[in-house]
Amino acid sequence: MTPTLTWDDTIAVVDLGEDENRFSPKFLDAINAHLDDAEKAGAQGLVTTARGKFYTNGLDLDWLAAHAEQAQSYVAGVQALLARVLTFPAPTAAAVTGHAFGAGAMLAMAHDVRVMRADRGYFCFPEVDIRIPFTDGMAALIQAKLTPQAAVASMTTGRRFGGEEAAEFGIVDATAAEGKVAQAATDLLRPLAGKDPGTLGAIKQTMFRAAVQALTDA
């Protein structure tokens, strides 16, 4: 299913879908188009959310296996999206309504804040167990957002964090009950409406310059 864009007042809400929401090239194009529309419309906030079992399961490994010759450009496209969300010129929140794995968890990490369902779903970087080392950009993104303790606990173990445990480590900022995750994420952004996009975008570019450079050098 293709991601969709709706609005909650001045906050853009991108729904990633209701399946595994893997990052196929079409999926990436759709999200970028929605981000274009949100920026052009002057969004005062951005929330990404999903329906069903997954927030997103990350890389489309089936597509990648069938198009191995495009692996480099594909990873570059994924990392460009991560860099874009990381520096989006409005407050951003990930409403992690289900499982967030690998690059899907990195997408959540690229937002300013994360709200995760308290009772179900895992937040996981499984790279160590699936024998796929982090790229420099992906590692830089995660380490820009987490304490060293949380980075080691999540990046070197393949550990699956439930919502409450993820909050304890600072991997997510808050938890919410089933059916209330997206609303909780949106509510976090409402008090931040009205920030100048040029200024906020410049601040994020400065804060995360090293991570953005590592992501976009791919």
pLDDT tens readout for residues 13-48: 999 999 999 999 999 999 999 999 999 999 999 999
Closest CA to 17 of 64, 63, 49, 45: 49
Strands lying side by side in the sheet with 4-8: 4-8, 11-15, 45-49, 92-96, 113-117, 174-176
What's the predicted TM-score (pTM) here? 0.97
- CATH number of the domain to which 92 belongs: 3.90.226.10
Phi, psi of 142 (to 5 degrees): -65, -45
Instruction: Count the domains in the chain.
Output: 1
Q: Give the helix/strand (H/E) hosting 120.
A: none
Does residue 122 register a pLDDT over 80?
yes
Predicted confidence band of residue 1 (pLDDT cuts 50, 70, 90): confident
The torsion angle over the Cα atoms of residues 99, 20, 83 and 68, rounded to 10 degrees, is 130
Predicted confidence band of residue 218 (pLDDT cuts 50, 70, 90): low
Summarize pLDDT for 131-188 with one digit per residue, the tens. 999 999 999 999 999 999 999 999 999 999 999 999 999 999 999 999 999 999 999 9
Q: Which domain holds residue 13?
A: 4-217
